[in-house]
Structure 1
Amino acid sequence: MKLNWSIYYNYLLVLVAFFSTSVGHAQNTQITFTGKVVDKSTQQAVAYATVMIADNQTKKAISGTTTLEDGSFTLETTASNFFIEVSFIGFEKRIIRPKSLIGPRIDLGRLEIQEDAQQLEEVVVEGEVSKTEFKLDKRVFNVGKDLSSAGASALDVLNNVPSVNVNIEGQISLRGSQGVQVLINGKPSIIASDESNALGTITADMIDRVEVITNPSAKYDAEGTSGIINIVIKKEERRGLNGSISVNTGAPNNHSIGISLNKRTEKLNLFTQIGAGYRELPNDIESRNSDLINDTAVFTSGEEFRNEAYYNFVLGTDYYLSSTSVLTLSGNFALEIEDQPSTTNFSSFEGNNMTSQWERTEITDATNPKFQYELQYKKDFKGDEDHVLLFSALGNFFGKDQSSEFTDTTISGLDNDDAQLTRTDFKESVFTFKLDYTKPFSETLTLETGAQYVFNDVSNDFEVQDWINGTFVVDPGLTNIFEYDQKVLGLYSTGAYEGEKWGLKAGVRMEQTNLNTLLANTGEDNEQDYTNLFPSFHSSYKFSERVSLQAGYSKRIYRPRLWDLNPFFNIRNNFNIRQGNPDLLPEFTDSYEVTGIFFIGKTALNLGVYHRYTTDVIERVSSFENNVNTTRPENIGTNATTGVEFNTKYSPAKWLTFNADFNYSQFSREGVLQDIDFDFNANRWSSKLMTKLKLPAEIDLEATGNYRSRYQTVQGEISENIFMDLGLRKKLMKGKAILNLSIRDVFASRINENQIAQADFEIYNRRQRGRFVAFGFSYGFGKGEAMQYSGGRRR
């Protein structure tokens, strides 16, 4: 954005020079000046700098030009009493007063200009403010240098985006609903999938903007019932060698180092990222399973650890085939090495009497390789930058080779000594092919059309061995090979009119889905083949520069994921088991919304009303037997949600900014499962307030408070949640180096609690990760900015 403003600024000066009337000092001899403008500190060429000849007496421009890509310029004049000025935004002006004018052509040589610390600071401060823009069918959150995101991952950035929440487990919700599809640069990615949980491999300073699409048009994949979040990665536009290095440390142990490099020439852009680190993620857990009929209970408490060393390597290139077409080839390799030394304590009761105590220890080792590669071709047609053809082929692979050893040791009471071994060999491949064509017929009319084919192939080999009579024996009831194969073909077309006052966009998408699952050990298979149409409609009207209105409708789908379908169940805790359901059907949602955008003074207000109606809702339902809680996803009836959303940004002073976000929804559930009535009405709300302060000595402070209300589920309720994050930043070396301090969950209050209360049983679960403190240093070189590398999240 800084480059564009500089171009406009420089061109304006040139125009002033050409049209100036102050050229009264003409002479008969024309002199031609040549030279090259370079950055004094790096000796790199400065493109688009302004070189102006001005009158010595009036100081008005006589003539001028801008430098080329290599910093060179040519400038002619017939004046006799003048000086030459070289300027560029972010740099100090340089004045040249030629002492002698000998010959018709004078070479000024290399003209060095140096950075203006004050101007640069002003530009940096302006760029730190995250801003939200409103488009016809989406909201765009332009990511600034928010302190809570310093040294953090994409998940932390998302938690600062209006309407978006990320819980302690990294699950993303939009307006309080999960089922969100997360895209990277408009395309599916294993980094953003539910199965990989790897959004942490994208660092905050790599993100240019986040697009929140609550009612996606037919152009987008119909997956995701509550909408789409598109994370757009920055595209480096600077010439020469740029880069940054970041070092972070924290408590609990969280240490990393990352290096980012970018080398760009006129035809070629090479980019790479290398990162490595180690972290520990403790997790305090507590649960209680109560059998109300037999008056028995099992209490669980303990601390789980997930220690991980991780390595990440990204390499890619953009090759400019011509001024209008570019070919991109990139690859990413990541490796995670996990260690999970966890201990859990169990106590069983009959009435108020404890009958036994035992301890369950876990030793788990896992190696998780990840690969991603992409080939993309983009063609911009001459004469119209919005006339675009884009083809991409994306391949992803994720693997997990994991082995676990569980040992139960009796402390008192009944004999609970036992041992189990588990082995997991998981492999997933996802291939996505996409073709998009955008054709503007005029400044107001645009046609979009395209196709997408996604192929997902998964194999999960899971084995359990029990300790029986002094030896480990394979348990055939828990051991299985589950195969999952899904193919989705989509075709779409949209048309849009966007005038000065109002806009209209309508389209339709057809998707054909073929899903096959197989439980190899038993031969149990399931095949689903269905075709659906997904229409969309969006409209906007601009009443004035300060008041606009948006309205939209779209139909969405949520296809059951691998872990929703796989009937195997884990044994990490033998009293709380999760199963899948291979017979699950997809959810379908009709989504409506109306949003008003108001600008009052310097404050922007966004107020929206929405309604969603979902059929075949997928809910996890608990069944209870012998104090064992087994949860299994089921299709249970319908859900109608109506809500209101409000967010705003207000700056009462240059040193103080508030960002507020509020969401309230009321929902009505209707459904029956196995003669059990699940009808009920409930509501939920959430709020978020971010406060930014600019302190003396180039120190910035940021505090973000979150509150999420208690709400009812089909069998119980989720408790309220309140927590705060803090960030502190100190700039050094004219902003090229930055010290960051961040504290997440300052008061250790981010606690996940849920309770299920039924006529014959009760279940209580509590989970807490606690306070995280991180300290980092980053330094950008060339024209690079600091990169905060925090590694990837684990599966």
Structure 2
Amino acid sequence: MVASAQNSEIEITGNLVDKESNEAIGYATIVLGNKKTNQAVDGVITDENGSFKIYSTISDFYIEVSFMGYKTKTITEYNVEDSKVNLGTILLSLDSQTLDEVIVTGEISKTEFKLDKRVFNVGRDISSTGASALEVLNNVPSVNVNIEGQISLRGSTGVQILIDGKPSVLADEESNALGTITADMIESIEVITNPSAKYDAEGTSGILNIILKKGEKKGLNGSISLNTGIPDNHSIGVSLNRRTEKFNLFTQFGAGYRSLPRDSETSNRDLTNATTVNSVGTSFRNETFYNLTLGTDYHINKLNVITLSGNFAYEVEDQPSSNDFDFFDETGLVSSWTRKENTEATNPKWQYELNYKKQFKNKKEHILLFSTLGKFFGKDLSSEFFNTTTFGDDVGGNQQTDTNFQQADYTFKLDYTNPLTDKVTLETGAQYVINDVGNEYEVRDFIDGVFVANEDLTNDFEYNQKVLAFYGTTGYELDTWGVKIGMRAEITDLTTELINTNESNSQNYTNFFPSFHTSYKVSENFSLQAGYSKRIYRPRLFDLNPFFNIRNNFNIRTGNPDLQPEFTDSYELTSIFKIGKASMNASIYHRYTKEVIERISRFEDNVTISTPQNVGTNGATGFEMNGKYSPVKWFTLTGDFNFNYFEREGIFEEQLFDFSGERWSTELGTKIGLPAEIDIEITGNYESDYNTVQGDVAGFAFADIGVRKKILKGKAVINLGIRDVFESRISENFTQQDDFETFSFNQRGRFLTLGFSYGFGKGEAMTYSGGRRR
């Protein structure tokens, strides 16, 4: 029955759920149509909880609900009361015929916006075939990953990496652990530039949260992917999921081999003594890797779920390298030699996690969550270095090193969320994190025909850090406006010790981290968001450990056990708008960082020694814009632009480090659909040069190309990718001081990849990541 309505605007609301599982269906399409003309008038997308709200200026309308894999439902009967229509809970049934065909409809990656984060849903980007998580991150707006694998967010390092919202051994940058995660395994990446107090305060630039895929369809589902490439980049990956009423069993496993060549050049110039040491060489990081994830969700009942999962990864490394050195003085070439390295390492990594989630009867969003996480990373590494003189004086200097590294981390976390009313939500919780690390390092010099331990370079470094945290947030959200405020307290206890020399350092400090977020929906096509947060960057083990790798003993990087943490205040204003077939967002932001950690180089006997130091403050003000434009179905254009101006102030050992500069980057991509289900994807990137405290970093441009062909009705996909087409992605650093100059250059080169992916059961080809998301 249709009740009469007044001529005012009618508000229509509802909630969409799966008929069998009773789970919310997020990001489904809701269409409002005119019954008389049978034409669509307006449309919206359900939020992540399956809820929607749409407005009608006509009283005789219909609602059409649709989502991939489900039968479309049309609603023509409803009651209008006080200019409102509440459709209540709308049940959708699976369309078995559509599921059997598994038509792949997902396209390139897209970004969604929420109150305090952006969600980059990883699509079927062709050039990412066989790529690691680091290469996927490099495609995410606002994120850059340099040739060395260092991650920056809006041009700043100090980024906290999470896996499924938690710390993980797979997120350890120092161990290259992200290389064991392939693009096929990633569902989405959350970019949180201004995290609320609910999140760890770690990471002065923000948080990147990598969400891994986990099947949700009932029955047995799975997919398999095969990848190969030049230079060697071969892998196989399998994803399986078995879902019943009580259990959801999931596993992912993969194995592969890759060779990562790198060409490098360095130059050290002593301006006082007019001497120069140059080196040119090539190094390889050949890795055989294995990765296994196994877990289960056990639904005790509709309100209680236990999740137990584990991950094991193992790498076997072989790192041969050869570098040619030349030593010059004011008279010319004095000596030349070749330094060769043979390094072997094994890296076991594992983690285990237990989660308990309780939902309360009064509301689905009323949740208590307890989690405990343990993780371990080890490295057993042995290196041999041999110098062969090719001209002039004999340089000698054969050496050996052994490293035994072990890191154990434990996290205990309790989170409680309570929607006190339809508009007010309370969140509170606590967390305790333990980091326990040991690094035994020995250097042996070749003296009189035997290798003898060098006591000056040998030591056992121990690092122990404990962080206890408490937080609380309150959110108030109306239809067009929302606000969220929070406070987090963290108590840090850090101890480092050099066992052999009996040197220790202890730090204990308590800090408070407020956060504030608000959003305002001006219209259906224009919204505003604003946020503030305070962050911390605690020095890592490798920042603190004073001992170093001697691969190139003329360019040494070492740590500083006296290093203090950085603190950053971050402000941001973002607008989100749609103009026709284009969607865009623009942000203005400001970050002010105290106790900035910079690597300061000093020069001794033609050797450059780089050590991290706390040097003053940095204020960065920036502008970022990214968007997407699809004028026709077969053509999509995406772009990202980030610019920031920074001012550095500081002094170190009576040297003034006051200067200002600017840094910008841009990315432009296009996807073109051709006949015969062939797609072409082209992406171009540019990163500008910028000043550092002692020199500058050169800019560079690079491009990626991909081609994809769908076969077997979309159940299988063949991809061809070319990364760094013109071999122009480089790392080039200059240091200029009164008494010395240094230069370093690194380049990885062009990578070609070929991939095949096939979905079976109700699974889909692993290059597809569309569909339901919680």
Q: What percentage of aligned pairs have identical amino acids?
A: 63
Q: CA deviation at 1:309?
A: 1.1
Q: CA deviation at 1:132?
A: 1.8
Q: What is the match of residue 498 of structure 2?
A: 519
Q: Is 1:442 matched up with 2:421?
A: yes
C-alpha separation in 2, matches of 1:656 and 1:133: 20
Q: What is the match of residue 62 of structure 1?
A: none
Q: Is 1:494 matched up with 2:500?
A: no
Question: In the alignment, is the contact (CA less than 8 A) between 2:679 and 2:707 conserved in 1?
Answer: yes
Equivalent residue for 2:750, pick from 771, 786, 794: 771
Equivalent residue for 1:208, pick from 187, 210, 232: 187
Equivalent residue for 1:191, pick from 167, 170, 174: 170
Q: What is the match of residue 451 of structure 1?
A: 430
Q: Is 1:469 matched up with 2:448?
A: yes
Question: In the alignment, is the contact (CA less than 8 A) between 1:430 and 1:457 conserved in 2?
Answer: yes
| Residue identity in the other structure for 2:680 | L
C-alpha separation in 2, matches of 1:770 and 1:318: 43
Question: In the alignment, is the contact (CA less than 8 A) between 2:235 and 2:255 conserved in 1?
Answer: yes
Q: Is 1:318 matched up with 2:324?
A: no
| Residue identity in the other structure for 2:237 | G
Question: In the alignment, is the contact (CA less than 8 A) between 2:487 and 2:512 conserved in 1?
Answer: yes
Equivalent residue for 1:357, pick from 336, 347, 352: 336
C-alpha separation in 2, matches of 1:263 and 1:634: 51
Q: What is the match of residue 610 of structure 1?
A: 589
Q: CA deviation at 1:194?
A: 2.8
C-alpha separation in 2, matches of 1:692 and 1:278: 30
Q: CA deviation at 1:463?
A: 0.2
Q: What is the match of residue 727 of structure 1?
A: 706
Q: Is 1:373 matched up with 2:352?
A: yes
Q: What is the match of residue 161 of structure 1?
A: 140
Q: What is the match of residue 83 of structure 1?
A: none
Q: What is the match of residue 551 of structure 2?
A: 572
Q: CA deviation at 1:728?
A: 1.2
**CA spacing shift, 1:524–1:51, aligned 2, 3 Å:** closer
Q: What is the match of residue 241 of structure 1?
A: 220
RMSD of aligned Cα (Å): 2.4
C-alpha separation in 2, matches of 1:616 and 1:707: 30
Q: Is 1:343 matched up with 2:343?
A: no
Question: In the alignment, is the contact (CA less than 8 A) between 2:127 and 2:720 conserved in 1?
Answer: no
**CA spacing shift, 1:4–1:169, aligned 2, 3 Å:** farther
Q: What is the match of residue 558 of structure 1?
A: 537
Q: Is 1:647 matched up with 2:621?
A: no
* Number of positions where the alignment pairs a residue of Structure 1 with one of Structure 2: 697
**CA spacing shift, 1:50–1:599, aligned 2, 3 Å:** closer
Superposition pairs of residues 537-552 of structure 1, within 5 angstroms: 537-552=516-531
Q: Is 1:263 matched up with 2:269?
A: no
Q: CA deviation at 1:88?
A: 5.6
| Residue identity in the other structure for 2:254 | G
Question: In the alignment, is the contact (CA less than 8 A) between 1:480 and 1:521 conserved in 2?
Answer: yes
Q: CA deviation at 1:48?
A: 7.4
Q: Deviations over 1:254-289 (max 9, x none)?
A: 111122211111111111222111111111010000
Name structure 1 gaps, 5 residues minimum.
13-45, 53-65, 70-86, 93-113, 790-795
C-alpha separation in 1, matches of 2:249 and 2:677: 34
Equivalent residue for 1:91, pick from 89, 92, 97: 97
C-alpha separation in 2, matches of 1:695 and 1:667: 44
Q: What is the match of residue 739 of structure 1?
A: 718
Question: In the alignment, is the contact (CA less than 8 A) between 1:203 and 1:788 conserved in 2?
Answer: no
Q: What is the match of residue 671 of structure 1?
A: 650
Q: Deviations over 1:61-87 (max 9, x none)?
A: xxxxx9x99xxxxxxxxxxxxxxxxx9
Q: What is the match of residue 409 of structure 1?
A: 388
- Larger mean Cα displacement after TM superposition, 205-214 or 743-752: 205-214
Q: CA deviation at 1:244?
A: 1.3
Superposition pairs of residues 222-301 of structure 1, within 5 angstroms: 222-301=201-280
Question: In the alignment, is the contact (CA less than 8 A) between 1:753 and 1:766 conserved in 2?
Answer: yes
Question: In the alignment, is the contact (CA less than 8 A) between 2:646 and 2:662 conserved in 1?
Answer: yes
Q: Deviations over 1:427-455 (max 9, x none)?
A: 00011111111100122110000011110
| Residue identity in the other structure for 1:652 | P
Q: What is the match of residue 669 of structure 2?
A: 690
Question: In the alignment, is the contact (CA less than 8 A) between 1:148 and 1:156 conserved in 2?
Answer: no
Question: In the alignment, is the contact (CA less than 8 A) between 2:129 and 2:753 conserved in 1?
Answer: no
Question: In the alignment, is the contact (CA less than 8 A) between 1:205 and 1:786 conserved in 2?
Answer: no
Question: In the alignment, is the contact (CA less than 8 A) between 2:69 and 2:95 conserved in 1?
Answer: no
**CA spacing shift, 1:381–1:234, aligned 2, 3 Å:** farther
Q: Deviations over 1:444-477 (max 9, x none)?
A: 1100000111100000000000011111110000
TM-score normalised by structure 2 residue count? 0.87
C-alpha separation in 2, matches of 1:605 and 1:309: 42
| Residue identity in the other structure for 2:341 | E
**CA spacing shift, 1:2–1:141, aligned 2, 3 Å:** farther
| Residue identity in the other structure for 1:722 | A
Counterpart of 1:442 in 2: which secondary structure?
A: coil
| Residue identity in the other structure for 1:205 | D
Q: What is the match of residue 599 of structure 2?
A: 620
**CA spacing shift, 1:498–1:129, aligned 2, 3 Å:** farther
Equivalent residue for 1:535, pick from 494, 514, 519: 514
Q: CA deviation at 1:495?
A: 0.1
C-alpha separation in 1, matches of 2:148 and 2:526: 38
Q: CA deviation at 1:2?
A: 12
**CA spacing shift, 1:328–1:675, aligned 2, 3 Å:** same
Counterpart of 1:584 in 2: which secondary structure?
A: coil
Counterpart of 2:166 in 1: which secondary structure?
A: coil
Q: Deviations over 1:629-679 (max 9, x none)?
A: 000000000001111111111112111111110011000000000000000
Q: What is the match of residue 217 of structure 1?
A: 196
Q: CA deviation at 1:3?
A: 8.9
Counterpart of 1:387 in 2: which secondary structure?
A: strand
Q: What is the match of residue 393 of structure 1?
A: 372
Question: In the alignment, is the contact (CA less than 8 A) between 1:258 and 1:787 conserved in 2?
Answer: no
Q: CA deviation at 1:540?
A: 1.1
Question: In the alignment, is the contact (CA less than 8 A) between 1:658 and 1:689 conserved in 2?
Answer: yes
Counterpart of 1:336 in 2: which secondary structure?
A: strand
Q: CA deviation at 1:205?
A: 3.0
- Larger mean Cα displacement after TM superposition, 384-393 or 423-432: 384-393
Question: In the alignment, is the contact (CA less than 8 A) between 1:151 and 1:788 conserved in 2?
Answer: no
Q: What is the match of residue 482 of structure 1?
A: 461
Q: What is the match of residue 32 of structure 2?
A: none
Equivalent residue for 2:151, pick from 172, 184, 197: 172
Q: What is the match of residue 407 of structure 2?
A: 428
Counterpart of 1:543 in 2: which secondary structure?
A: strand
| Residue identity in the other structure for 2:744 | N
TM-score normalised by structure 1 residue count? 0.85
**CA spacing shift, 1:471–1:129, aligned 2, 3 Å:** closer
Counterpart of 2:291 in 1: which secondary structure?
A: strand
Question: In the alignment, is the contact (CA less than 8 A) between 1:219 and 1:509 conserved in 2?
Answer: yes
Q: Which has the larger radius of gyration?
A: 1
Counterpart of 2:363 in 1: which secondary structure?
A: coil
| Residue identity in the other structure for 2:624 | E
Name structure 2 gaps, 5 residues minimum.
1-14, 29-67, 75-88, 769-774
Q: CA deviation at 1:351?
A: 2.5
Question: In the alignment, is the contact (CA less than 8 A) between 2:127 and 2:721 conserved in 1?
Answer: yes
Question: In the alignment, is the contact (CA less than 8 A) between 1:557 and 1:588 conserved in 2?
Answer: yes
Q: Deviations over 1:587-608 (max 9, x none)?
A: 0001111111111112111111
Q: CA deviation at 1:478?
A: 0.3
C-alpha separation in 2, matches of 1:464 and 1:264: 53
Question: In the alignment, is the contact (CA less than 8 A) between 1:409 and 1:418 conserved in 2?
Answer: no
C-alpha separation in 2, matches of 1:717 and 1:260: 45
Equivalent residue for 1:761, pick from 729, 740, 746: 740
